[in-house]
Amino acid sequence: MAICRPRLLTSGMYHYLLAAPILGAALLAPATAHASEGGSSIYVPGAYNDFAAGLAPPPGVYARNDLVRYEGDIGARPLGGRLSAGLDQTLWFNLLKLTWVTDVEWLGATYIAGINLPYVFDVSVDLEASIPGQERFNTGSNSGFGDPYLVPVALNWANGTHHTTAAVGINIPVGRYDENDRINLGRHYWSIDPTITYSWLPESGWDLSMTAGILFNFKNDATDYTTGDEFHLDVLAAKYLTPSFGLGLAGYVYEQLESDSGPVPDRLEDGFRSSGAGVGPAFMKSVSLGQAPVTLIGKWLHDVSSENRFDGDTVSLSAAWAF
């Protein structure tokens, strides 16, 4: 099935798609970043979807680098097998995404694989209050490598203006972790993350892209805590205004399908089930570095609703290119 390129996508802008999030490209944030255990999750809002997210590039090896800043706060929540007081958090991290698009076809689709490698420049927390009778956790800041996110298989189908990718991601829990530390760079549990991505790209230059998935989480043996399975949906609607520039509106919806289980959430009335939603602007700009096309992508997502999770703002600036 032939790939249909929207009329306003020039070769430079199209090369952005060589590193587009066709893998359901999850940003791997530290364990204090967003929802579930510790009010955090492998899922990061806005990270699974982008401009023309379902469109596959030609065979080759491609890269994308994301610089992300998150600032937010959360009230009391389970962490490390105990109940932790609320805190404010500021996070800076970088994510390198490597994508291999093969010339192998299976079930009428192109086979793709990839890996995401996160590095935390700085994550700092400020304790808002202490909880009587609860041992105090460490506070301060931290940096280092987080959990890699492997996509062993992704299949992409193209049919005219419709583009679809089915993928399976795996969180590999090798990042730094200490159950007694408030600031961790890894989750210390495995997760399997099947996703489906769809893009509608008519020749008029409009772009409607969305990614839905479910995180199936395994138990954190260090804390005897299991984060309930998590549904996530990311959507982006955009218009390519010129052959090298596009503007859009991004949004997300997040909902835990099951309550958390473990020593603390089992005692809580709601089982510490998390939910949230957010919205914000996005842009993409195609430029050239010598003969190499590079695309810059920017996003700002503001949380408009949150329950049992961090509430704040995510700002990202990305660059995508082909090797």
Please answer whether residues 307 and 274 qualify as being in contact, where contact means their C-beta atoms are separated by less than 8 angstroms.
Answer: yes
Residue 70: CATH number of its domain: 2.40.160.40
Q: Is 243 a member of any domain? A: yes
Using CA atoms, how far residue 322 sits from 41, 220, 293, in Å, is 30, 37, 8
Q: Is 200 a member of any domain? A: yes
Q: Is 4 a member of any domain? A: no
Per-residue tokens: 166? 């089915």
Q: What is the pLDDT of residue 129?
A: 52
Q: What is the pLDDT of residue 127?
A: 66
Structural domain harbouring 251: 11-322
Q: Is 6 a member of any domain? A: no
Q: What is the pLDDT of residue 91?
A: 86
Residue with tokens 């364990």: 31
Give the residues of the chain that fall short of pLDDT 50.
1-5, 7, 10-36, 78, 80-82, 130-131, 135, 266
Q: Is 233 a member of any domain? A: yes
Please answer whether residues 89 and 71 qualify as being in contact, where contact means their C-beta atoms are separated by less than 8 angstroms.
Answer: yes
Residue with tokens 């931290």: 142
Per-residue tokens: 312? 């704040």
Q: What is the pLDDT of residue 273?
A: 82
Question: pTM of the full predicted structure?
Answer: 0.83
**Total domain count, the chain:** 1
Per-residue tokens: 101? 């698009």
Q: What is the pLDDT of residue 310?
A: 79
The per-residue pLDDT for range 35-69, each reduced to its tens digit, is: 345 556 788 887 788 899 999 888 999 999 999 99
Q: Which of 187, 183, 175 is nearest to 124 (CA)?
A: 183
